[in-house]
Chain A
């Protein structure tokens, strides 16, 4: 049964904005994602060259070697615009908050074996700085990237990485009784601990990569694909035997986030690779050089946490990444 409420209906003169209609091929109702994404960025008629990079226009497709007939092909399969993005994250945070209070109320972190708790301190808490590097890299792409399709999604990734850095910090604060000592200790490890130096070296090198698409491949494909599966699934599952089930609850956000975000990263890279052989060669080259760095960067951490099993776990992550890259039509 349906009820019909009578309303005045007026015939609209057009269904969407003209720029959207041009892209859809006809004036037809468009999604909110399309209206809030297409052509938001200026592409020509710039008044002044940026004083900070006068060799380029304010927005300039030449800032990457990747060539696209249309940068708006780099769509986000999640169709995130600000509203849907914040609502999705607030939902994830809602269950994360429940997990945090569940664990806190029962003092569950205290039930983790002390030796494993130390390992968590060693492998997890310094990652807040890795996340901060990821925040800077995505902010960089948002700054100099071309076209709102990619730059709005990297803006969301920028804030995601800050949020994750803060979640990791909260785990540290839960473990150190709220004193902040775990965070200080993690920072020292990040700065001076031998196990972290290949990772920090790699992250700092990424901070000065001039080509934003290379940076996208390095950070959002390679670094993340080596760090997330290792930390949030390999280390996590070994931790179960040491009473670390509560940590899985605290890190559930990161596991879900990685799955969700990988869909977007895959779509961006495969679209660019399929555009031309030149793009595919460039992307494959970037993939290869950064994958080597990333494998070397996570190996000492994996060995510390998993000991003899460490190298095998790294190899599993590497293989997964390699297969993923193949699916994205990169040469590995």
Chain B
């Protein structure tokens, strides 16, 4: 029968869903000249069983014509704001120059992760067997590239006026504390495609994004950073798509085969804990780095994980999935996490590309009010002591390099789940070497895949082995591309502070 005959026969029109299926998964085929196992070599080795890729429910039905149209519209608006921000010196409208340190953390710690996500999704977008999930991953791959690039363009203006932003990629790959986010994402990208999606789409995007992306963007909104918050709004609909993909992939794996349940559960346990440890920088940012605070870390954890995450895992329990292991430890830590971390960075600011400081009195009061059970008892006296020392010209810097956890690569600063006054140490012997961990969560992750984690490039070990430019602080900082006395040290006396005071001197005068 010819096509000409058919067009006169008035056939039934396709519904939207069928039409979309034709435009996406209908494009794929079973290869015969090359075996499917060679075309798609990575879908079996993790042990996940997929019986029918067609059961995949497309989480969002977006064809390329609409994608180009919507995204171009968003880009036009975003770049109009970025241009106007630069033209009008929008950085003068932020609450205080200390805020920019949150931006520094974001550009050096988070933006490179967006880029890694882009490449990771390109990998899965090529290697999943089903065309439906592949297209969803490809769209996320290009979205993540968008986020990396728009963040760079947004923050480009800040780089012109503030320190610590000038070499983000280099710093991400070399600087000690940035090995935490770097190793997190490389852990995911070096895993198989299903674990990657569980790690990033589900644990990171779906479960934890409200605790990572949202606090930075809300912080920007609260602190007068119009450029960054506009980026945040612009990325919101992308993030919503990514979250739906995260939920869909989990349900898809769980529904395809019962044997997948324990594998997925183990990944959820691992990536919850990996993700939670990564969030320590957000905890400190929320409680210490925003001149105008949005909410405390403890409040955010309660709302977004204990309540929001609780409801999600309740929903997943029908598949046999339970709450991630050690979630209760995270809740026990919520009253101390940010304080332990800020104190650590305060100790080591001679080697960070952002400034730290002792909070002002009203800020200490805010912390006392938000953390009534821990702050005054455990942390405030220490900050007040450091303040006293600093006022006497004896600003404390710690010159002993800390021991790192082999898994999360954070210094061993966390305390026992039931005792906030004792540092938590765990260790194990593997092939005659002893490995150290900050927590049971990190130790479990190591024990399951020791061959992976013994490869970890631990910054402190590397410095001591002489692989980081030399044996002195200036040599290492030089290797980090950190500009001594500009990027690092206390905010007080920094070029950032001096210039900010000059720029805003008129404002102070007119206020008087």
Contacts and interface: CB of A to CB of B under 8 A. Distances in A.
Interface of A: 7-8, 10, 12-19, 32, 35-36, 39-52, 58-59, 81-83, 86-87, 89-91, 93-94, 96-97, 109-110, 114-115, 117-118, 120-121, 128-129, 131-132, 135-136, 139-140, 142-144, 148, 151-152, 155-156, 158-159, 162-163, 165-167, 169-170, 173, 175-183, 185, 187, 190-191, 200-201, 204-205, 207-208
A204 B33 contact: yes
Nearest to A12: B160
Given A83-B149, A132-B131, A176-B7, A169 B72 contact: no
B427 to A, nearest CB: 20
A114 B4 contact: yes
A67 to B, nearest CB: 21
Contacts of A51: 45, 190-192, 452
B307 to A, nearest CB: 34
A155 B68 contact: no
Contact of A82 (B12, B135, B150): B150
A93 B69 contact: yes
B39 A159 contact: no
15 contacts: A36-B149, A36-B152, A39-B170, A40-B169, A42-B173, A48-B452, A52-B193, A83-B150, A120-B3, A135-B27, A142-B122, A143-B127, A156-B142, A201-B33, A207-B31
Given A10-B503, A159-B142, 16 more contacts: A12-B160, A17-B167, A35-B153, A42-B172, A44-B173, A45-B457, A47-B179, A48-B186, A81-B149, A86-B75, A90-B69, A151-B119, A158-B142, A173-B14, A177-B6, A204-B31
Given A87-B76, A93-B65, A143-B119, A82 B149 contact: yes
Given A83-B150, A142-B122, A191-B29, A12 B13 contact: no
A139 B34 contact: no
Contacts of A131: 27
Given A17-B168, A52-B45, A128 B119 contact: no
A205 B191 contact: no
B29 A139 contact: no
A171 B253 CA distance: 35
Contact of A155 (B32, B33, B75, B122): B122
Contact of B457 (A46, A162, A187): A46
A10 B189 CA distance: 42
B11 A181 contact: yes
B27 to A, nearest CB: 4
A177 B11 contact: yes
Contact of B22 (A86, A94, A180): A180
B11 A176 contact: yes
B174 interface: yes
A90 B182 CA distance: 34
A296 to B, nearest CB: 14
Interface string B17-38: 0110011001111011110001
Interface in B137-191: 138-139, 141-142, 145-146, 148-150, 152-153, 156, 159-163, 165-170, 172-174, 179, 182-183, 186-187, 189-191
A201 B3 CA distance: 26
A59 B119 contact: yes
Contact of A49 (B65, B125, B161, B190): B190
Find the residue from A17, A41, A128, A135 having the highest chain B CB count within 10 A: A17
A90 B118 contact: no
Contacts of B170: 18-19, 39
Contacts of A169: 22-23, 26-27
B123 interface: yes
B241 interface: no
Contacts of A178: 11, 13-14, 19
